[in-house]
Structure 1
Amino acid sequence: MVNMKGLGYAGVTIAVFSCLVLAKHDIALVNNIYHWLQNNWWVTVLLIMSCLSGLFLGYQWGNAANRRQKLKPVQGELQGEQLLLNTLFNNALSPVFVFEHDGRCVDANRAALEFLGCEKQELLAGSYNDLLLPAGFKLYMLQQENLADLEPVEIDYPAGGKVKTMLLNIIPVKLTEKNVYYVFGQEITHYKNQLEQLRSLSLHDPVTGLYNRTYFEQEMRRMEAGRNVSAGIILCDLDGLKLINDTLGHDQGDTLIIVAADILKNCFRGDDMVARIGGDEFAILLPNGDIEVVERASRRIKAAVAKHNTANPDLPLSISIGFAARRGASKKMIDLYKEADNNMYREKLHHSQHARGTIVQTLLATMKAKDFATTEQMTRFKELVSLFAVSVGLPESSVAGLKMLAQFCDIGKVGLPEDIIFKPGPLNPDEMAQMRRHCEIGHRLALSTPDLMPIADWILKHHEWWDGTGYPLGLKGKEIPVECRILSIACAYNAMVSYRPYRKTLSHEQACAELEKYAGIQFDPQLVTCFIEFLEAGAKKNLQIKKNTQPLPQL
């Protein structure tokens, strides 16, 4: 316990000294104060406690002022951070939703409202809580589970006639005794669609939309794993596709592939699986298909192809077919596939030659429709070439081939666009590059046709120039076959004196002058001289000339 009386006497002493100072050493006054305070010591205690309280309060007031002064910058920083967080929240590109612990949505940013296509009042009213809080999220909020155990959740939301997909992730923020939950969304509609496209592409052929080889082999393994499953396999090969690609281009080849795919799809049941397993190969799996079912399906394919060719004679379709079937698990699926493949190959041996011949004949008819020359003009030109060849001493075997070359030298133009073939003015560099392809196209066509195979090499080289600037091989001089050199001169002369819609017809004299101008450049100069002499001898008028009995010059 504090000795209050002692404290009072100490206070009296302090008061006396204070009075001496105040009274300027007035002893009488000091004695009176001293004796009064001794009798009233409690007054001194009160005075001392009041002074101490004043000192304490002053100290506290000073500390509070200092703290307030120090807190001002901190409060400013907190306000700035709050403004920054609100700005980030409202302007975030991804949707963000804020939920109380009881599942009420209390806030959402602009991206969230745009995704849902609603006003904030409608969202805060709870209309979307079931959508935005899947069962897993609600359970998590109720049980306060560890966030690491909760996986993001996808939701699908219909908007504007389309279905949007959003990936939701929930994060708790402990502000009070209860958590506030931020649900972050990321729209993944575009990525999900791309993933579906990739999955589809991995199992489908991009040209026809049919299943691809990967899926076909998966289905074969699945059927192999089944017990006592009867199955049939049909393999189809599109005849002459390479010839079409080489002559008419891959676009035309793809068109033929698509036509074949459509025919095959329409010939089979919903349970049957049609796939494109190679460039010109198709395969069909027929679950529970015995040999009778497979044979009927094969006949349907042939009937559908024949019907198509009747309606589309311009480019006939030919398909070689092979099939095999098993009862139960009597054969492995791979062995069944090999049997069908062998059967298809045997049929292809019979079909291929006929199919190529049909395609070539169709192409020849197409070329004839694109040619400026009439049948009569072509006949006269072939006679001009053959008589000139005879006049320079070419043997009969070469003359016969040269007449065929005169007719089919430009067969490769069947694969060129008509706007290039019939262009009235000069060709630009790109068009000229395409035009020069006709030699190679014609060469491939001729190699695919027994009748034209002997002149395939001449078709390739008939646009070579004497000075080596021709195409496609850049041959020069006597490296060029003499048949090609003869044809080059006769063809140029015939073109100059014949009608063409894109230029004037030249006279005989003008045409001969042009031949002489390009002798030694484009043409064999010796043959140019022989040709002009041949024409002046009267062949130009009646084309009746005796066979040259002189030795063959060194051509």
Structure 2
Amino acid sequence: MFKYLKDKLSRHKSDPFKKEGLKICAIYLVIGLFWIYFSDRIVNYLFKDEHAILRINTYKGTAYVLCTALILYFLISDLLRKVEIMKRKLNESYDELSASNEELQSYVEELTASDEELRTQYDQIVEYGEKLRVSEEKYKSLITEMQLGLALYAGNPGDDLYHYKVVDTNYSHEVLTGFKQKDILGKYFYEIHVDMEPENAAKLIHTITTGEPTRYERLQKKTNYYYEVIAYRPMDNQLAIIVNDITKRKQAEGRLNFLSYHDQLTGLFNRRFFEQELVALDKDENYPLMITMIDINGLKLVNDSFGHATGDKYIQMVAKVLIEGTRDQDVVCRQAGDEFIIFSPKTDDAQMQKIIEDMNEAARKMDVNSVPLSLSFGYCAKKSSDEPLPEVMKRAERYMYKKKLLESSSVKGKTVYTIMTTLHEKNPREEQHSRRVSQLCEKMGVAMGLRDDEVKELRTVGLLHDIGKVAIEEGILNKPGKLDEMEWEEIKKHPEIGYRILSTVSDLSELSEYVLSHHERWDGKGYPRGLKGEDIPLQSRIIAIADAYDAMRSERSYRKALSKEYAVSELEKGAGTQFNESCVNVFIEQVVKDDDIYECDLCSI
């Protein structure tokens, strides 16, 4: 039995409450056995009376109950105390467990949130990685395709510039520098740039050392590109070189530099160069320094007659004559519109005279619109440093103007008649018209009793009255139909153009006033100035009548010639409004009444 109890106790060691229960039972059992076994023996030994033994047994039972109750009370109280302690501990453990559970739950939630955050971050990292990949491809493609050349060099710590290797280049770098990527990748700097200028190499070394960007410009002889190099250090032991094609900019700079010292129209040196060269040539080794001034005769006349485009051609041909007629050591400059100057080092008067004769001969063989080139020369030599250069130039200029006064008038006179020939070639009908108007004016002068010189002047101005039409477009002059408003406005410019042409010739300057006013009206409604009545010169009034009469009596592209009667009636209608009435009367009664030049065989068309 004890073995059984021992086995039970050992089996329930892990359960303290069962152990305590077994312990109480065992104590109760031991006490009970002990009490039963020994109490009866003691009572039987001490007492022999059965009634006494019965009372004693009753007392003994009561005492046993009380003792066992008391013992059980203490044992059960102890058990309950332990149970209470255990309960309290269990409650505390439960609270701790609950707190731990809450904490664990919090940790689980945090872990869950962290997991979500990590998952989100992972997704973002994947997304950013993809974007970075796309961006790298994009920018790599951009760098590959961009117009700027790019080369990346890399070296080891302590390497100098010449031991940096090429690690990457783009296509534009290949085009601009001529270095193919496959030929230079992995090569050292010194193997590629064998002709690098020391000053440029020093700039690149400075960039590698300090990290400060640098730039320089260079002509690549291999490709004939002029490019700008910008170098910077992306990371330690790296050198990035950006190559920018500036060939067009350099060409533009070259053109600007050329234009700053050259005349754009002729290509000759300009006044700015002249002022600088003047100082540079004024040295003893260049004496005698010959200074020759040249002026174009009749350029304004050419401009007014044929337009500035023709005038520009005239100037260009003059420049050609001067260039071809001078020597290599001579310097030819264009000072202004029609003025040129030549510096001739170590040249005496005889040499200069021969050069001028040759240039004059060449000029006479050249013409623009049948107008021959005409130049006036004046020269003077500076023979020592004592002579002020401005004074020498003034003497050359005075000499040139003296020659110009002698030559210009005859040249301009020839030019005027060349202009008339050109007009008649453009429109043959104008030649016949001018001759008839000239005859009518001459007859009118005689009929009005003018002096012989005035009649001669009328005949001449009759020939020249439409000279301004030389500047009118040929298509307008020869148009088969009527002119539109814009074309008519162009035609109305010819009196002013004629005035400008004739006013340049001193002998014809007075006639220019008559030409300017030959389309004015007696009532003030004419052009170009709107003159009225007696303000219109007599010669202009006469030309107006003769011009109108011939226009009606001549055949036009859009109509046949009108009759004499119709023309006379139109003049009579215009008398007092368009024409001077007294002049119309003389014209009708004395010029065309009995002798009509349109019926004269000599004047037939």
- 1:457-472 to 2 correspondences below 5 Å: 457-472=513-528
SS of the residue corresponding to residue 454 of structure 1 reads helix
SS at match of 2:371: coil
**Residue 554 of structure 2 aligns to which amino acid in structure 1?**
S
**More helix as a share of residues:** 2
Q: 2: distance between equivalents of 1:93 and 1:313? A: 50
Q: Distance in 1 between matches of 2:594 and 2:140?
A: 98
Pick closer, same or farther for the CA change 1:538–1:325 going to 2, 3 Å: closer
Q: 2:182 aligns with which of 121, 141, 145?
A: 121
Which TM-score applies when normalising by structure 2? Answer: 0.69
1:397-434 per-residue CA deviation (whole Å, 9 max, x = no partner) reads 65443333222211222333333322222334443333
Q: Secondary structure at the match of 2:227?
A: strand
Aligned partners of 1:156 and 1:166 also within 8 Å: yes
Q: 1:88 to 1:289 in 2, by over 3 A?
A: farther
Residue 499 of structure 1: which of 546, 555, 569 is its match?
555
Alignment partner, residue 173 of structure 1: 234
The CA deviation at 1:229 is 3.5
CA separation in 2, counterparts of 1:170 and 1:499?
Answer: 81
**Distance between the aligned counterparts of 1:447 and 1:203, measured in 2?**
35
Counterpart in the other structure of 1:229: 286
Select the structure with the greater relative contact order (CA < 8 A; seq sep ≥ 6). Answer: 1
Structure 1: runs of 5 or more not aligned: 1-19, 29-54, 545-555
Deviations 1:2-59 (A, max 9, x none): xxxxxxxxxxxxxxxxxx998566779xxxxxxxxxxxxxxxxxxxxxxxxxx9xx99
Change (3 A) 1:291 1:398: closer
Matched with 2:353 is 295
Secondary structure, aligned partner of 1:472: coil
Matched, 1:98 2:160: no
Shift of 1:452: 2.7
Q: Distance in 2 between matches of 1:23 and 1:109?
A: 84
Q: How far is 1:208 from its partner?
A: 0.7
Structure 2 distance, partners of 1:307, 1:383, is 35
Shift of 1:440: 1.6
Matched, 1:156 2:207: no
Residue 187 (structure 2) pairs with residue 130 (structure 1): no
Is the radius of gyration larger for structure 1 or structure 2?
2
Q: 1:313 to 1:531 in 2, by over 3 A?
A: closer
Cα deviation 1:212-264 (Å, max 9, x = unaligned) = 1111111111123x454322222211122122222222222211111111111
Matches within 5 A, 1:154-553: 154-156=218-220, 158-159=222-223, 163-174=224-235, 178-224=236-282, 226-230=283-287, 231-308=289-366, 314-370=370-426, 372=428, 381-389=437-445, 391=447, 398-516=454-572, 518=574, 522-524=578-580, 527-528=583-584, 531-533=587-589, 537-540=593-596
Give 1:197 deviation, angstroms.
Answer: 0.6
User: How much does 1:528 deviate?
Assistant: 4.6
Equivalent residue letter for 2:173: A
Deviations 1:163-220 (A, max 9, x none): 322211111122xxx5222211221111111111100000000111111111111111
Task: Please report how far the alpha carbon of residue 460 of structure 1 lies from its aligned counterpart in structure 2 after TM superposition.
Answer: 0.4
Q: TM-score, normalised by structure 1?
A: 0.75
1:173 is paired with a residue whose SS is coil
Contact 2:434–2:466 (Cα < 8 Å) also in 1: no
Q: Does 1:145 align with 2:215?
A: no
How many residues are matched? 487
Q: Structure 1: how far apart are the matches of 2:185 and 2:274?
A: 52
Percent identical: 29
The CA deviation at 1:463 is 1.0
In the TM superposition, residue 393 of structure 1 has moved relative to its aligned partner by: 6.5
Deviates more, 1:416-425 or 1:128-137: 128-137
CA distance in 2 between counterparts of 1:442 and 1:326 reads 44
1:392 & 1:296 partners in 2: Cα distance?
56
Residue by residue over 1:275-306, the C-alpha shift from the partner in whole angstroms, topping out at 9 and shown as x without a partner, is 11111111111223344433332333233334
Q: Is the 8 A contact 1:131 1:155 kept in 2?
A: no
Deviation at residue 497 of structure 1 after TM alignment: 1.6
Letter in 2 for 1:104: K
Cα contact 2:423–2:430 (8 A) shared by 1: no
SS of the residue corresponding to residue 234 of structure 2 reads strand
User: Which has the larger displacement, 513-522 or 270-279?
Assistant: 513-522
Match of 2:131 in 1: 80
Per the alignment, do residues 405 and 371 of structure 1 end up closer, same or farther by CA in structure 2, a change over 3 Å counting?
Answer: farther
Distance of 1:516 and 1:141 partners within structure 2: 95
- Root-mean-square deviation (CA, aligned residues, Å) is 4.0
- Superposed, 1:37-56 pairs within 5 Å as none
For residues 99 and 22 of structure 1, the distance between their equivalents in structure 2, rounded to whole angstroms, comes to 79
For the residues of structure 1 that align with 2:598 and 2:176, how far apart are their CA atoms? 87
Structure 2 vs 1, CA of residues 100 and 125 (structure 1 numbering), >3 Å: closer, same or farther? closer
Contact 1:228/1:328 (<8 A) preserved: no
SS at match of 1:145: helix
